[in-house]
Structure 1
Amino acid sequence: MNIIKDKLDNNPFLITVHKGSSMGNIVENTIPSFYAASQSGADMLEMDIIRSTDGEFYVFHDGDEKRLLGQDRDIKTMDSAEIDSLHYRNNWGISINLKVEKLKDVLNTFRGDMLINLDRSWDYWDTFLPFLDQFNMKEQLLLKSPVQKSYLDILDAHPVKYSYMPIIFELSDIKEVEAYENINLIGMEFIAENQDSPLFQDETINKIKEKDLLIWINAIRLHDNTNLFAEFDDDVSIIKGPEFGWKILVEKKADIIQTDWPNHLYTYREKLKK
């Protein structure tokens, strides 16, 4: 947690960039998109993990095969040779000379002080955690998952204690994850559909902060029907102004804000620091 703490000592909150920054010919969840995110003010890169049928780990969000690769098949049903043969489509839908990145290449590229959130990896933790051990990047890596016993048991038993933040959907999730004594719990990601959610309330947030745990809040807007934190999101922050979105997340004592618009959020953070 030292890297996180060092970064928080100099900033009111940290900026996590969802899938990297993609635009034009630069595609999400690729090394170029992570370079773009780091140049846009990111403190942490969020990336999605899949495992091929023969055990190779890649950075890709399953479900996006048609849009990004022109494929109707689930990428998780492919072996590494099949995945390596695929080419990305850019943001105009044109096939380009860019392939799905192997996770090992991404990790080696960003070895240093850039924080990395390895999302959607929880289904593979039986082999994924031992895979991570070889990189000796424990201080850089952050794991998340829904609160589920099968995931927590693996994490609890693994000898290398990677930083972990459970995705909290309801209050009972908090009690369940706190029952584990051998997990490196550094904070919690709160999902609050609306302002009536217990996870939106200052009392709930303050109880977590009093335990010296961090709060992760999402500003990303996946689509019209999904609210990750009571509609105080990137969309309203850009269309109406930061005071209608990001400002509320700061007032809710967010330590980490995930965004699709890091350059705008970075500019807002710099104004807060003056």
Structure 2
Amino acid sequence: MAGKKEYQHINGLLSRKLEEKQVLTAVHRGLPGGNIIENTIPAFQAALRLRSDALEIDVSRTADGNFYLFHDGEEKRLFGVDQNIREMTTEAVAAMTYYNSLSLPVSYRVESLDDGLRFLKGDTLLNIDRSWQDWAELLPLLDGYDMMDQLILKSPVHRDYLGQLQNHERKYMYMPIVQTVEELEVVMSSPGINLVGIELIADSEDHPLFDDAVIRRVHDAGLFVWANAITLDDEKILYAGLDDNTSLIHGPEHGWGRLIDKGVDMIQTDWPSLLVPYIDGKLNR
């Protein structure tokens, strides 16, 4: 059972998946690569074809108030422009087309949040990232989709964001990005929030949040532990280097396997085609 008993009518899909599979795979921005663009319906289709349990998707709001599936700050790489999507009008975003992984132009356009949610409505868990600064507008919008059992909101630990969740009538599942023990204390003691899991950030094995006792505490509270195994660059370490690069180069037992052995319940990856069968074999599922 994920989260508090009072929210089980919302958390049932998540609880069932965790019980059935023990360790879930969450795919970063769908499955981009080649001519498939991140945060698009083809990327979601590719990830689901590889039996991904959850999709991490980014949501950004335009200057005139419409929501798109896009990670702001990536405009130069994906559009070839320097302007942030949050400063663009809906008309400007609708006219944009992408560059693919080879930096070649393609005709695919940016997905609206509406199109993405309508496509994904069903039984796939969706981790909504990058949206927290727009929750005042986004939360009421999400209410109209009847997808509370699928949506897991994510944010840094900030009292303003926690307050918005506390004050919103519908209690969406929530997973904070926790970087310190102090932040863990704040979210674990915050009332009126449908807390279902914790994303732990640790830059090394010496970090306090890498301690097995922290994971036991999270589990004892009925929450899942999410570890981010994606490798963003040479400098940013999300969970002690037990990441996709380590797993692919040195062997999955040195990265993903250690995450599973530590008790991580959800692993975010860019490589579901390798992670899913590895988990199957390791857990004999």
For Structure 1 versus Structure 2, the TM-score category normalised by the shorter chain is over 0.9
Amino acid at match of 1:137: M
Q: Is the 8 A contact 1:14 1:256 kept in 2?
A: yes
Match of 1:8 in 2: 18
Determine if the alignment matches structure 1 residue 49 to structure 2 residue 59.
yes
What percent of counterpart residues are identical?
Answer: 43
More deviation, 172-181/109-118: 172-181
Of 242, 246, 250, the residue aligned with 1:232 is 242
Structure-2 residue corresponding to 1:19: 29
Conserved? CA contact 1:12–1:269, under 8 Å: no
Paired residue type of 1:72: D
Match of 1:82 among 92, 96, 103: 92
Secondary structure, aligned partner of 2:105: coil
- Give the secondary structure class of the aligned counterpart of 1:10: helix
Which blocks of at least 5 consecutive residues in structure 1 are unaligned? none
Aligned pair partner of 2:279 in 244, 263, 269: 269
Alignment partner for residue 156 of structure 2, among 141, 146, 160? 146
**Deviation at residue 273 of structure 1 after TM alignment:** 3.1
In structure 2, C-alpha distance between the alignment counterparts of 1:240 and 1:188, rounded to whole Å: 27
The answer to whether 1:180 aligns with 2:179 is no
Match of 1:251 in 2: 261
Partner residue, 2:7: none
2:236 aligned with 1:216: no
Q: Any runs of at least 4 consecutive aligned residues in structure 1 with deviations exceeding 6 A, and if so which?
A: none
2:5 aligned residue: none
How far 1:179 moved relative to its partner? 2.9
Equivalent of 2:111, from 76, 101, 107? 101
How far did 1:263 drift? 0.9
Q: TM-score, normalised by structure 2?
A: 0.94
SS in structure 1 opposite 2:245?
A: helix
Structure 2, gaps ≥5 residues long = 1-10
Matches within 5 A, 1:115-126: 115-126=125-136
In structure 1, the residue matched to 2:168 is: 158
Instruction: State the TM-score, normalized to the length of structure 1.
Output: 0.98
In 2: Cα distance, 1:127 partner to 1:81 partner: 19
CA RMSD of aligned residues (A): 0.8
> For the residues of structure 2 that align with 1:157 and 1:264, how far apart are their CA atoms?
41
Q: Does 1:92 align with 2:102?
A: yes
Deviation of 1:178 (Å): 2.5
